[in-house]
Structure 1
Amino acid sequence: MKKITFYSILLVSILALFAFNDRNPNSDFVMIEGGTFKMGSKASDRAADVDEQKEHEVKLNSFMISKFEVTVWEWKEFIKANKMKMPEKPKWGWQDNYPINGITWNEAIAYCNWLSKKEKLQPVYSKKGPNIVCNFKANGYRLPTEAEWEYAAKGGSLSKSFRYSGSDNLDDIAWYKGNSNGTPHTIGTKLPNELGIYDMSGNVWEWCWDWYNKDFYKLEKNDNPRGPEMGNRRSVRGGSWDSQPNYARPANRISTEPNKTHEFYGFRIAKSIAK
């Protein structure tokens, strides 16, 4: 009887191990139900910067977005597989559960394609001459568009119209200049927003797909907008551990050339949902 019990326990343990190693990669994603929302800043918001779009209505299809920012550990797996080097080591050292930082837009795109191939999905990005093309119909991983990012940060269809992503009290949901002690922190250690997404305000700035143009919203169709066709700088969202509260508002935006970075730049990934 004892032998049967022992082997039964052993078998259960082995099966549990396989189940863990074969986990569903979508378990770290949130499905965002499509809908219509007000993107940009209200005219009455005195904190709005000149970079920010004025409030306008945008319609989005459903999509998936990661609960967490891409971590140092996940980035290490990527560079190991591709025989690359880590970015310059930050003063706090590389902590595996911290969000990766010091990443260019081009590197974030490369990570998305690598992860897609690793999980036997169709890569989203390809080159057309000197330009990167995004196939939004592909089932692989990609960066969110600015509209998707802002919709998710504002809580999607569950939005309670908080000032920041998940609360009117920034200390509840973000690592920023007022509480970070000069470093990023382990992902998911502040409260999530209405959709269960963490760190969309603070911790690291997050790259988005779109070329930056502060006035393009005046021309674009408001049905799943994906930004200008061309540009010089890509949009970045969310604020960081080194940001003042104003930058942690979901409508706030900055931009940087895609081959450049700063120590507070990271990203999270998204995924299209087939119709």
Structure 2
Amino acid sequence: MSKKYLLTGISILTIFLTSYGQSKNLVIQMVKVEGGKFLMGSPDENKIAENDEQKQHEVTVGNFEINKLEVSVWEWKQYCKKTKKKMPAKQVWGINDNYPITNITWNEAIAYCNWLSKQDGYKPAYTVVGPNIICDFTANGYRLPTEAEWEYAAKGGKKSKNNIFSGSNISNDIAWQQNNSDKKPHAVGTKLANELGIYDMSGNVWEWCYDWYNKDYYKSEDGNNPTGPIRGEKKSVRGGSWDSKESYLRTSNRISTTPNRTYEFYGFRLARTAN
């Protein structure tokens, strides 16, 4: 066994002992991401890119934090126990505490963010106003990352090596995907991390972002901490999953889904504004 994989195994064990221990409260490992400028989307000459990834444009994001791991089944179980909510339907692969939680709607992910913020003594980021959910980006509570934050973190932030996927140009090093997953998700953090020490931003499960989706948004996007269109019908989803072809694992790839839908390959990770 190489030193690289031995060290990775030790670090993953540390993550599991921290995140899945017997403490009363959840222990969330957040990675501090120093803000900066980056090129969001794909260049015109990229023949693999979808139309909604263009045009490539410069974006500035502020400092923020993002979860090292996707939210797990174990973490969601604790939420359900304390709020008396039902767990999602059991999948064919069973219930594994270390797997990412799936079959969660965007709205359910938002509710979890606010609940966990209150548990940890933070100001919730989300307010429900009639049918609308408003995000206060000045609040210190947990929230979903914006598309810009997600892509910046997936690309490695200021440590970016301009990889095709999050952390490597070789997808099997960093992603559970269609050709290696055995048709199921896997324990979070079991592939290699990216430049910022974040796991599974390519593959394992697709991740909900905050933004409303618009296929033409990049053509008119404000490049300063963009938070997406004001309104829409679908939410942006990023990263690819255990059921995805390799092209969907690229850090610039985008898809979208209505916020009330669930899928066995959709999950999420947390973010916070860094004060």
1:89 is displaced (CA, Å) by: 1.0
Partner of 1:224: 225
> Secondary structure in 1 aligned to 2:229?
coil
1:24 is displaced (CA, Å) by: 9.6
> Secondary structure in 1 aligned to 2:39?
strand
- Aligned-partner Cα distance in 2 for 1:244–1:134: 33
Partner of 2:141: 140
Identity of paired residues, percent?
Answer: 61
Partner of 2:104: 103
Partner of 2:129: 128
> Secondary structure in 1 aligned to 2:110?
helix
User: Aligned partner of 2:85: which letter?
Assistant: M
> Secondary structure in 2 aligned to 1:38?
strand
Asked which structure has the greater CA Rg, the reply is: 1
Partner of 1:202: 203
Q: Aligned-residue CA RMSD in angstroms?
A: 1.6
For the pair 1:53 / 2:48, whether they are aligned, the reply is: no
For 1:1-275, list aligned pairs within 5 A.
21=23, 25=27, 28-274=29-275
> Secondary structure in 2 aligned to 1:65?
strand
Contact kept? 1:53, 1:214, Cα under 8 Å: no
> Secondary structure in 1 aligned to 2:114?
helix
Note the residue ranges of structure 2 that are not aligned, 5 or more in a row. Answer: 1-21
> Secondary structure in 2 aligned to 1:207?
strand
1:82 is displaced (CA, Å) by: 1.3
**How many residues were matched structurally?**
255
1:129 is displaced (CA, Å) by: 1.7
User: Aligned partner of 2:36: which letter?
Assistant: G
User: Aligned partner of 1:203: which letter?
Assistant: N
1:133 is displaced (CA, Å) by: 0.3
- Aligned-partner Cα distance in 2 for 1:21–1:96: 15
Contact kept? 1:121, 1:140, Cα under 8 Å: yes
User: Aligned partner of 2:102: which letter?
Assistant: N
TM-score using structure 1 length: 0.90
CA deviation map 1:171-226 (0-9, x unaligned) = 10000001000010001110000000000000000000000001122223100000
1:266 is displaced (CA, Å) by: 0.1
- Aligned-partner Cα distance in 1 for 2:213–2:194: 26
TM-score using structure 2 length: 0.90
1:47 is displaced (CA, Å) by: 1.0
